[in-house]
Amino acid sequence: MATPLTADRLLKALRDEGLRVVEHRNWRTHNRNHMGPWGPLHGVMIHHTVTSGTQNSVELCYDGYSSLPGPLCHGVIAKDGTVYLVGNGRANHAGLGDDDVLRAVINETALPADNEANTDGNRHFYGFECINLGDGEDPWPAAQLEAIEKAAAAICRAHRWTQRSVIGHLEWQPGKVDPRGFTMGSMRTRIGERLRGTPSGPAQPPTYEPFPGAAFFAPGRRSPVITAMGKRLVAEGCGRYEVGPGPDWSEADRKSYAAWQRKLGYSGSAADGIPGRTSWDRLKVPNV
C-alpha cells in the first residue's frame, strides 16, 4: 500500500532510471479523480494500445474517446523507448478486475487466475500503455521492452515494491490479452534483475540526424540514414513498405514520407515525398 507519487516524484523516478521522458500537454493535472478515489497504490499495470504511430497514440491516450474519456493511462511507451506522460491521478486504464489478484499483488505472492471483475483497478494501479497493434505480429523493439522494464522498476523502486507488484492487463481482467507479444513472467524477471542494481541515472538527451538536404534523397542514394528514416516512418504509422525499410532510397521510401507529410497537414506538391527541413526535424530520425 502506498500514497501516489506526486508529479515531480514520478518524473524524477523515471528519469533517474535512465528513461527519456516527454511531459505531454497538461499531464500534471489531467486525471479522472472526480470519478472516484485515487489510491492507495499497489502496483503497475502494463497494456498495449492496439494502435500505431507515436503522435496519434499519445493523443488518444491523453484525450480518450466518447465512451472512455482520457487519460487512458499515466504514461505511453513508444517503440523507440520514449515515455510520454499523459496523466497524473486516476486514469481509465485498468477497469474492474479480480480481487484475488489484487490481494496477491499487495502480498507480492504468485498470481491466481483472474476469473472475476469485481474490484476497481483504476484506483490502485499505475498504468503504462505501450504502442503495439497487439496482433502478435507487430514487433516489440528492444528499446521499447527496456523502457517497459525501466518504467516499472522506477515506480517499484520509489515505493519499495518488488517485481511482483507489476502485472499485465491480461492478468487482471478476464478476457483481456494485453500485453501480447511477450510474457509478463519474462518481464518481471527483467524488472527483478534491474531492481537488484542501482538506477541507471538520467538519460542523455537524444540526438537526431540533421537534415541532409533534399538533394540527398535521390535514386541511387544508399545510406543507413535512409534505413533509420524508414524505421521512424513505420513507427509513426506511415510505412508503405512491402519489404524493408532498407538503406537504398526507393519509391516505397518516397510514398512513406509522403504519408508522413500528409499526416503533418501538407498536401499537393508539399506532400511529394521528398523530405524538407521542417518535416524532417519533426520526424526525429535518430543518429546512426
- Number of structural domains found in the chain: 2
Average pLDDT on 77-96 reads 97
Whole-model pTM? 0.79
- Reported as a pLDDT band with limits 50, 70 and 90, residue 288 is confident
In a domain, 120, yes or no: yes
Rounded-to-integer distance, Cα 5 and Cα 213, Å: 45
Q: What CATH number is attached to the domain comprising 141? A: 3.40.80.10
270-285 residue pLDDT tens: 999 999 999 999 999 9
pLDDT on residue 49: 98
Amino acid, res. 110: A
Please indicate whether residue 62 or residue 55 has the higher confidence score (pLDDT). 62
In a domain, 221, yes or no: yes
For residues 120 and 248, membership in a common domain is answered with: no
Is residue 117 classed exposed, middle or buried when 0-12, 13-18 and 19+ CB atoms within 10 A define those classes?
middle
- Reported as a pLDDT band with limits 50, 70 and 90, residue 243 is confident
69-82 residue pLDDT tens: 999 999 999 999 99
For residues 67 and 176, membership in a common domain is answered with: yes
The closest alpha carbon to 250, from 259, 260, 240, belongs to: 240
- Reported as a pLDDT band with limits 50, 70 and 90, residue 203 is confident
In a domain, 288, yes or no: no
In a domain, 203, yes or no: no
For residues 159 and 61, membership in a common domain is answered with: yes
In a domain, 208, yes or no: no
100-113 residue pLDDT tens: 999 999 999 999 99
| Average per-residue pLDDT for the chain | 96
In this model, does residue 98 exceed pLDDT 80? yes
Average pLDDT on 70-98 reads 97
First vs last C-alpha separation in the chain? 44
| Listed residues 137, 161, 195: the one ending a domain | 195
Residues in the chain: 288
Rounded-to-integer distance, Cα 141 and Cα 148, Å: 11
For residues 35 and 148, membership in a common domain is answered with: yes
Q: What is the bridge-based pairing of β-strands 96-97 and 83-85? A: unpaired
13-48 residue pLDDT tens: 999 999 999 999 999 999 999 999 999 999 999 999
Average pLDDT on 77-102 reads 97
For residues 179 and 229, membership in a common domain is answered with: no
In a domain, 204, yes or no: no
**Given the C-alpha cell 504502442, which residue does it identify?**
131
Q: Where are the alpha helices (DSSP H) in the chain?
A: 7-16, 54-63, 99-107, 142-159, 184-195, 224-235, 251-263, 277-283
pLDDT on residue 262: 96
For residues 175 and 73, membership in a common domain is answered with: yes
For residues 58 and 111, membership in a common domain is answered with: yes
pLDDT on residue 137: 94
For residues 90 and 168, membership in a common domain is answered with: yes
| Listed residues 161, 195, 229: the one ending a domain | 195
For residues 49 and 19, membership in a common domain is answered with: yes
Give Cβ neighbours of residue 141 (< 8 Å, ≥ 6 apart).
79, 80, 81
Give the range of the structural domain holding residue 236, as residue numbers without chain letter.
214-283
For residues 97 and 234, membership in a common domain is answered with: no
Share of residues in the chain with pLDDT > 90 (%):
93
| Listed residues 149, 167, 195: the one ending a domain | 195
For residues 191 and 238, membership in a common domain is answered with: no
Using CA atoms in the order 120, 56, 206, 5, what is the torsion angle rounded to 10 degrees?
A: -20
Average pLDDT on 198-224 reads 90
Q: What is the separation of C-alpha 142 from the centre of its chain, rounded to a whole number of angstroms?
A: 13
For residues 238 and 161, membership in a common domain is answered with: no
pLDDT on residue 205: 78
In a domain, 167, yes or no: yes
H-helix or E-strand containing 43? strand 43-48
In a domain, 201, yes or no: no
Q: What is the bridge-based pairing of β-strands 125-130 and 43-48? A: parallel
- Reported as a pLDDT band with limits 50, 70 and 90, residue 1 is low
